[in-house]
Structure 1
Amino acid sequence: MLLVLMAVGMSASLVVASVAPLEKKREEDRFFALLEQDIHYAQSQSYSLSTSVILVFRDHKPGYEVMYGVTRAGYARPMPESITLNASSNLREVYFTPNGSIRQPGTMRFSTSSGERTVTVHLGKGRVVVSK
């Protein structure tokens, strides 16, 4: 009886250990999907409200904030602990002008548990590409 209980306990611990990295990957994928949606929402808000909307990654906060204009705070989103914005990124904010176009194009590089992911913001109408 004790042998069976030990075998069940060991197999259960193996299942839990194999699910943890998968859950971390899913959490990271959800973050990047939400980031992409927030960027598109910020662009639509800048156009509909006729004001600049800025999505900002700050050094001292793990996450990003959406600002309406330069002074009015919108909302903030936390970033999972397994994701960090690399110092090699040439973009730390996505700035939409009042007509919905992008102010500065560039690439944000993120370190994740499964490697590097990039978010590229193109000049012009602000098309955004999130790498997989």
Structure 2
Amino acid sequence: MAVGISASLVVASVAPLEKKREEDRFFALLEQDIHYAQSQSYLLGTSVVLFFWDHKPGYEVVYGLTRPGYSRAMPESITLNKSSNLSEIYFTPSGSIHQPGTLSFSTSSGERTVTVHLGKGRVVVSK
């Protein structure tokens, strides 16, 4: 009985840590996808857009606004806040950003933001 109680305490303490790791992996992958989309827009000479949809958790990468690229799911513990003033990250054919702004996400450990700066397309993912 003591072993069972000890094991359940260990499992209960590991679950929040695993959720945090999953969220960190998602944001690392999002940052890599943003940089890849920017490099592809410049290389291919076409616009590349990351769309964040309301009806499904995650984002989709689209080339030239018509050719679908790929999509990524968001962990259940992450949601895009309604207070975000962006719903897409749009790179022009020259690799610059079309519209600056902020994407705000709610996570199990608080709020995280993705800030898109005007100009050369610098994007910052908060920690």
**Shorter-chain TM-score tier:** over 0.9
Tell me, in whole angstroms, the C-alpha distance in 2 between the residues paired with 1:29 and 1:35: 10
Q: TM-score when scaled to structure 2? A: 0.99
1:120 Cα deviation from its structure 2 partner: 0.3
Report the equivalent of 2:81.
86
Hey, which bits of structure 1, 4+ residues long, moved more than 3 A?
Answer: none
Report the equivalent of 2:102.
107
Paired residues, what number? 127
Which structure 2 residue ranges, 5 or more long, are not aligned? none
Q: Secondary structure at the match of 1:45?
A: helix
1:98 Cα deviation from its structure 2 partner: 0.2
RMSD: 0.4
In structure 2, give the amino acid aligned to 1:130.
V
Report the equivalent of 1:58.
53
Tell me, in whole angstroms, the C-alpha distance in 1 between the residues paired with 2:98 and 2:125: 19
1:59 Cα deviation from its structure 2 partner: 0.9
Aligned ranges 1:1-132 → 2 under 5 Å? 6-132=1-127
1:26-81 superposed Cα distances (whole Å, 9 cap, x missing partner): 00000000000000000000000000000000111110000001111000000000
Q: Secondary structure at the match of 2:20?
A: helix
Tell me, in whole angstroms, the C-alpha distance in 2 between the residues paired with 1:61 and 1:79: 9
In structure 2, give the amino acid aligned to 1:25.
K
Which structure 1 residue ranges, 5 or more long, are not aligned? 1-5
